[in-house]
Chains A and B, each alone.
Chain A
């Protein structure tokens, strides 16, 4: 009761509160850094410099952010329909198979911009296919989507290792990966975009998938808030009984929402497989699917929020890697702790400061 139902203006809800949460997260991270005997301000400086200080640093940050935008959108779309898709990781992984198959078949014959639309479709199709079985089980049999998508992450991982080790491996090589795609199967880097800002991309794999991700953000916004399907998904997500009353078909809506969610997760592979490594490798998703859950939570399942949260996590990934290089005391695991604190304060404790803000706001508007 009490303060929970009091409406706050958007600039507090989406501006002040997330910012305060972030400051809290950094404050406690600073305490952790201080506790192990390093200077937290220096550490913060390394983190920021490492993520945003140079052209290539920004390139890496945005490269990670691109993956997180795709998986964040994937989680958000399912979430709007009341489905908690934990399977973006596996859907992205299998999506990579779709992207790789297109790249391997076309790279000899056509330039990248011809390959790209087919690769988008392939990645989305394979990602969606991997989401279909859990979706069908949820819709028809009531098997909980959280459980089935987690299981499908493992099944997907096993399937991909099998395919890479036994089918796609280049004869005579030890690494379980496909051959390197020719330029016709790669997505070019966005060095021209960086050059506009006077920055040099260097070795960073920031590529065209970023633009695809932004387009997807717009399309997801359109889907959720401007289409009848999005309206049905939101109705189902908020109130299943109202959805029944309104004649919204449960089975169809659940399956379509999950197919879209899986497709978006699958597109994450465009960035990693065709944009960065130019081949399909084992475990290329590297946890981006799970980060997508945090990104979607932090971004309140809204594309704009997701872009911001994805960039934040990109900063933490890239800056964190640099930080652990500069300060060997702060290991990779410490970076995970800091990321955990961000998720904790910005996600799990999202509403902790709300009652105080409501009181402040009421006093300020006041009597």
Chain B
């Protein structure tokens, strides 16, 4: 099992790592060896134990058994400080940034270099400039994190690890929020780093990335390391099968669209963000019944704000939103729900779900005034739980326990909770943002099928995703957004290069 991942000596070795959480055996006797100066991929479904393994490596958890060796020497990693000292840098899937600090302050945090800040700030600014130049990760050092689009926040996370001079860089689902162009950019950085002798561990669900960038790859399933392969000697199909334990369908099967009348119409819509910057600039388009319109674009080009404006969360500065030809009077999510517009938001952790709620409480979020969940002022908890149980069964949400705290579901199952809630209302229009971000491959297949079913049932679907593959395989028409404008429309069979150029603002 512990196939040496490169001819070089191992930078990091895990020997017999074992970890249990109560009854859950998260890691079973894991052996792994990653060669110095190589990119090693670890894939597996959510809950397969990848994150636990990396948390052990980064000192968040301690293994019950087993040994970690770095450059051949056994080490004990008590906490993240020790991990950093051992030369391990981590880029987390969920950002570990102080939201009201600037980029510079976040990068410096924990490495201020003395009691007085001035010297450290100057040094950090210089270092940041250098990193920016070398790797092309452009971020304004004085921008405040919470005002940056998600894609840029990710860059700060990567800069943070680089700033600390990590020799071994662990990236947990790094491209979840990046566009193909940005992901390619990241991959180029990773390749440069590898060529400089650094070691990279890439955790992902995405087989395409594994194939594109890694030298070697390990597959995890249910806490075990089931296989390690040289990337050049394996195929997407083999890896997918190893991961899920059965054959999976990688492309979405769908028939031709049957577009009906226009249900959702946007006219000259302009939206500004919290800073007063115009994020959506004079955008107009229609979505018809029975079609999926995909919006492609690099994160931060206005798709998020457009989606929020359509859902009534963000008030547009000017322009009109028409539903069934009638203008929507006010920005009010409750009113829009009444007009049969459902919304699967981009950020399920902060918007689509209340993570501290039990599952059944989230199954009515936004629809809690529906008389079927209780008359008058009261909530009928029996009715709520019953409908939650129905959704759990129909959408195969696991574990099937409506009383479980939502935070304790895996990413894929959390997303299914949102999808179930929004689709089960049988809306006429559906807004979908990043439907499969951080979702495992089995659930992706499931969610994609539901979206196609909605289309076939004559719903108007607007899909925003930074996964170009997802946009291309689901959409009937593709709109490309760049710098707040819709720069062009393509049919679903447009090739990736054309779309990529449009997303970069080069071609229209």
For A239, what are the chain B residues with a Cβ–Cβ distance below 8 Å? 350-351, 354-356
- Closest A residue to B62 by CB, please name it: A2
Decide if B353 touches A242 in the complex (CB within 8 Å): yes
Is B379 an interface residue when CB atoms closer than 8 A count as contact?
Answer: yes
CA of A347 to CA of B85 in the docked complex: distance in angstroms?
Answer: 36
Our pick among B23, B345, B381 for the contact of A245 (Cβ within 8 Å) is B345
CA of A249 to CA of B21 in the docked complex: distance in angstroms?
Answer: 41
* A1-B55, A247-B332 given; A238·B21 CB < 8 A: no
* A231-B361, A239-B350, A365-B22 given; A244·B333 CB < 8 A: yes
| Interface hit among A86-94, A139-147, A150-158, A222-230 | A222-230
CA of A366 to CA of B25 in the docked complex: distance in angstroms?
Answer: 12
CA of A362 to CA of B20 in the docked complex: distance in angstroms?
Answer: 10
For A6, what are the chain B residues with a Cβ–Cβ distance below 8 Å? 21-22
Which of under 10, 10 to 19, 20 to 34, or 35 or more describes the interface residues of B?
35 or more
Minimum CB–CB distance for B96 against chain A, Å: 10
Our pick among A1, A226, A367 for the contact of B60 (Cβ within 8 Å) is A1
Q: Which residues 7-34 in B have Cβ within 8 Å of A in the complex?
A: 20-23
CA of A246 to CA of B365 in the docked complex: distance in angstroms?
Answer: 6
Q: How many residues of A contact B (CB 8 A)?
A: 28
For A247, what are the chain B residues with a Cβ–Cβ distance below 8 Å? 312, 332-337, 366
Is B101 an interface residue when CB atoms closer than 8 A count as contact?
Answer: no
Q: Which residues 333-382 in B have Cβ within 8 Å of A in the complex?
A: 333-337, 343, 345, 347, 350-357, 361, 364-366, 368-369, 374, 377-379, 381
Is A37 an interface residue when CB atoms closer than 8 A count as contact?
Answer: no
Interface SS of B by simple majority: loop
Decide if A241 touches B350 in the complex (CB within 8 Å): yes
Our pick among A242, A362, A367 for the contact of B354 (Cβ within 8 Å) is A242
Is B408 an interface residue when CB atoms closer than 8 A count as contact?
Answer: yes
* A226-B378, A226-B381, A229-B377 given; A362·B22 CB < 8 A: yes
CA of A291 to CA of B313 in the docked complex: distance in angstroms?
Answer: 39
For A1, what are the chain B residues with a Cβ–Cβ distance below 8 Å? 55, 60-61
For A245, what are the chain B residues with a Cβ–Cβ distance below 8 Å? 311, 313, 333, 343, 345, 351-352, 365-366
CA of A367 to CA of B65 in the docked complex: distance in angstroms?
Answer: 13
Is A191 an interface residue when CB atoms closer than 8 A count as contact?
Answer: no
Minimum CB–CB distance for A358 against chain B, Å: 10
For B374, what are the chain A residues with a Cβ–Cβ distance below 8 Å? 228
Is A198 an interface residue when CB atoms closer than 8 A count as contact?
Answer: no
Decide if A7 touches B405 in the complex (CB within 8 Å): yes
A269-294 interface bits toward B, Cβ cutoff 8 Å, 1 = contact, 0 = none: 00000000000000000000000000
Decide if B379 touches A242 in the complex (CB within 8 Å): no
Minimum CB–CB distance for A186 against chain B, Å: 34
Our pick among A5, A228, A366 for the contact of B407 (Cβ within 8 Å) is A5
For B354, what are the chain A residues with a Cβ–Cβ distance below 8 Å? 234-235, 238-239, 242
For A362, what are the chain B residues with a Cβ–Cβ distance below 8 Å? 21-22
CA of A275 to CA of B324 in the docked complex: distance in angstroms?
Answer: 62
Decide if B20 touches A244 in the complex (CB within 8 Å): no
Our pick among A7, A226, A367 for the contact of B408 (Cβ within 8 Å) is A7
Most buried by B among A2, A239, A362, A366: A239
For A177, what are the chain B residues with a Cβ–Cβ distance below 8 Å? none
For A244, what are the chain B residues with a Cβ–Cβ distance below 8 Å? 313, 333, 351
- Closest A residue to B333 by CB, please name it: A247
Our pick among A2, A235, A249, A367 for the contact of B365 (Cβ within 8 Å) is A235
Is A232 an interface residue when CB atoms closer than 8 A count as contact?
Answer: yes
For B336, what are the chain A residues with a Cβ–Cβ distance below 8 Å? 247
* A2-B60, A7-B405, A247-B366 given; A242·B352 CB < 8 A: yes
Decide if A228 touches B365 in the complex (CB within 8 Å): no
CA of A249 to CA of B365 in the docked complex: distance in angstroms?
Answer: 13
Decide if B368 touches A232 in the complex (CB within 8 Å): yes
A239-267 interface bits toward B, Cβ cutoff 8 Å, 1 = contact, 0 = none: 10110111111000000000000000000
Minimum CB–CB distance for A1 against chain B, Å: 5
Sampled A-B contacts (12; CB under 8 Å): A1-B60, A2-B60, A226-B378, A228-B374, A239-B355, A241-B347, A242-B365, A245-B351, A246-B333, A247-B334, A366-B22, A367-B20
Residues in chain B within 8 A of chain A (CB atoms): 20-23, 55, 60-61, 311-313, 332-337, 343, 345, 347, 350-357, 361, 364-366, 368-369, 374, 377-379, 381, 405, 407-408
4 shortest A-B CB distances, which residue pairs?
A247-B334, A247-B333, A246-B366, A245-B351
Task: Knowing that A1-B60, A235-B354, A242-B354 touch, tell me 6 more A-B residue pairs with CB under 8 angstroms.
Answer: A5-B408, A228-B378, A239-B350, A247-B332, A248-B334, A362-B21
Residues in chain A within 8 A of chain B (CB atoms): 1-2, 5-7, 226-232, 234-235, 238-239, 241-242, 244-249, 362, 365-367
